[in-house]
Chains A and B, each alone.
Chain A
């Protein structure tokens, strides 16, 4: 093949351009620290990266949901512990006059004690998280409990949150299942109307009706068990949420690892490539410079 000086110079330009393009690619990967800088760099891995990115975001959302649901459970648990303690006090109070008392002052003191304890139960039933009444079911913008029958003005809806893909967890305990269970449609914890039991006892102690006092005391006993049942339900929810948090953290970790494996540039490899490419590029520049000087003109 006949070679002219123009062929040599065209070839040199083409190859220098190719060399520059490779150097530019390595430089981009090094400075951005990423293997894939635009979809066309690697369309298949782009698909994977986007998918992983979406999943990480969704997992983060679930983690945030769980964290809020956990806070809700902690506040519920605090209220339930308070209720349990109050029930304990009420039971002790009743034990002192379980056989009735002829002394009106003793009875009066017991009645006012019971009234105070009942009010505490109502107050704790109206516990708020932010501006939400946590025991109000879906009607949680107004206080659900009052001291007079029918005591409960909330509803029995379950408030669910998503804690994993298509997996929901009930977040709330409807107040009627907790304190006025005889009116609840579903009675998972017990059937006792605790607030009514208090009122019955107050009436019984006031009238010194021993039979009614004994019946009320039994009702309180059953109510205490009911509250304990709710507490264990909340505890099991906390356990579930904790384990889901760990699962999500693991998931998130795995996803981030996959993302990094694909996306993070391997600097050692890039450094070697850069040095190889650099040497090749310098060689081509130097060869071009030398060869373009050659001409018959210099020897004539």
Chain B
């Protein structure tokens, strides 16, 4: 042990504080990188030696460069992302559907139904009047147009959801591939040098992204890799460095896509995701929107059936029994029966084959408006539609509220993660000064040791 030992310690210090400054620089540079976890240099004393029977240290050494990472937070973030992905998709699609049912201004399908029956009321006052008869036909046209518009909008929404599955599964597949690739890199890097902090950060960020799209479960392996499974079906999606994939096949019955998973080295199986964006898209496509459509169809069908039945009991202006007034059984197909109702004179307003000025059938038809014939004879046409509008409103409202809660929850978790893993510039700057001072001190050590060495050499001369 001599002066050279002090010089050696100083040289070590210079090296180590240079590395510490580099880590700080890395932190500062990545202050805004999504998913980056701050790193720190873990310093410890170098092993001591014994000099003249006294143990003396040999300076400082770097034990590890660690990243701040909380596995529990990652787990919670993954779950929160899945819920948020589901609710956000549901909320935004429902908000697109809602305008179809925006009856607040009373000028949509609901108003068309009221006006349709109003035209029959007007006909009761002048059953033979051609203007009144024409009004009935015009109102019928408006009514069927409104039914078709609503039906088309809802069907389009279903198709849009179906089409969106293609880019969504492509995106998921790309993410799965990237995760598998990063897993491979982590494994190799850590076998060689034992530290792959940045790649781990990237992979963890990708896992969080993926969890927004589908519900996943994952396990962290001892070799640094992470295995991922689909939460709904339990199918494996990533096994160490191999990725599975999602694929779409067209269902022969519905004409819509079926979702399949091919696990790594596994057999393709049909799955029905229920969580994440993918789950929301399927729920909207298969349950929620078709549910609204079914109600509109039921309304169209009942109106057609009821009006047809009553219309056939009446007589037109030639004294001939009325024909079917409507054709079609759904909102998409309902229309005036142009084969039977060829002109205004075919409207069966009269209740008697001989009495052409009679209005009794028109009156009964008009009074159908107030009859409770929907929902097992508990609702009128108007109230049935009103409650449908209200149901859509409730769905949208609750979806919006859940989305807002999810966002707040995720934000809370993100803040916690940021608090633990985020880079604080103030902290890095003070670290920088700390390391800079230490670097200065180490170099001073070398200067002092050099002077001492000079003195020793001078003594020899």
A: residues with CB less than 8 A from B are 1-7, 10-11, 14, 34, 36-44, 46-47, 49-51, 53-54, 57-58, 61, 64-65, 68-69, 130-132, 136-141, 155, 157, 159-162, 165-166, 168, 171, 263, 295-297, 300
Contact = CB atoms under 8 A, between A and B. Distances in A.
9 contacts: A4-B424, A5-B31, A39-B389, A40-B396, A43-B391, A51-B386, A141-B356, A161-B363, A166-B367
Nearest to B416: A1
Interface stretch (B124-132, B207-215, B217-225): B124-132
Contact of A46 (B127, B354, B390): B390
A295 B425 contact: yes
Given A6-B32, A57-B114, A65-B121, A159 B106 contact: no
Contacts of A132: 126, 128-129, 357
Nearest to A14: B411
- Most A CB contacts (10 A, CB to CB) among B369, B370, B418 go to B418
A39 B392 contact: yes
Given A138-B352, A161-B359, 9 more contacts: A4-B424, A34-B104, A39-B103, A58-B370, A138-B357, A139-B357, A141-B356, A168-B363, A263-B104
B393 A166 contact: no
Given A44-B390, A51-B383, A39 B102 contact: yes
Contact of B106 (A14, A50, A155): A50
Contacts of B414: 10
A140 B414 CA distance: 80
Interface stretch (B137-145, B261-269, B426-434): B426-434
B415 A68 contact: no
A43 B394 contact: yes
A61 B393 CA distance: 28
Contacts of B110: 50, 53-54
The residue in A39, A61, A300 that gathers the most chain B C-beta atoms within 10 A of its C-beta is A39
A47 B390 contact: yes
Nearest to B38: A4
B422 A39 contact: no
A263 B103 CA distance: 13
Interface string B377-390: 00000110111011
A137 to B, nearest CB: 7
A50 B128 contact: no
B410 to A, nearest CB: 11
B73 to A, nearest CB: 13
B386 A141 contact: no
A10 B411 contact: yes
Nearest to B101: A39
B123 to A, nearest CB: 11
A168 to B, nearest CB: 7
Given A7-B415, A39-B393, A57-B106, A296 B425 contact: yes
A165 B414 CA distance: 60
Contacts of B106: 50, 53-54, 57
Contacts of B418: 4, 6-7, 10
B357 A47 contact: no
A288 to B, nearest CB: 16
B64 to A, nearest CB: 21
Contacts of B128: 131-132, 140-141
Given A7-B422, A39-B104, A161-B124, A137 B357 contact: yes
A5 B393 contact: no
A159 B363 CA distance: 9
A54 B382 contact: yes
A37 B110 CA distance: 16
Contact of B430 (A11, A51, A53, A296): A296
Contacts of A168: 363
Q: Which 7 A-B pairs have the closest CB atoms?
A: A39-B393, A43-B393, A40-B396, A138-B355, A138-B358, A47-B390, A140-B357
Contacts of A36: 104
Given A6-B418, A40-B397, A295 B426 contact: yes
A10 to B, nearest CB: 7
Given A47-B387, A50-B386, A166-B370, A7 B419 contact: yes
Contacts of A263: 104
Nearest to A129: B126
A46 B393 contact: yes
B122 interface: yes
A36 B106 CA distance: 13
B440 interface: no
A144 B275 CA distance: 75
A145 B78 CA distance: 89
Contacts of B405: none
Contact of A50 (B103, B352, B354, B360): B103
B350 A138 contact: yes
A39 B356 CA distance: 45
A58 B31 CA distance: 65
B416 to A, nearest CB: 8
A160 B104 contact: no
B337 to A, nearest CB: 25
A41 B111 CA distance: 20
A153 B423 CA distance: 101
B350 to A, nearest CB: 7
Contacts of A44: 390
Given A37-B104, A57-B114, A65 B125 contact: yes
Nearest to B385: A50
B389 A296 contact: no
Given A7-B418, A37-B104, A39-B389, A159 B358 contact: yes
Nearest to B400: A40
B375 to A, nearest CB: 14
Nearest to A1: B419
B176 interface: no
A160 B102 contact: no
A47 B397 CA distance: 14
A289 B365 CA distance: 67
A46 B114 contact: no
B376 interface: no
Contacts of A160: 124, 359-360, 363
Nearest to B418: A7
A58 B114 contact: yes
Nearest to B350: A138
A39 B390 contact: yes
B125 A131 contact: no
A41 B393 CA distance: 7
B332 to A, nearest CB: 23
B59 interface: no
B127 to A, nearest CB: 8
Nearest to A54: B382
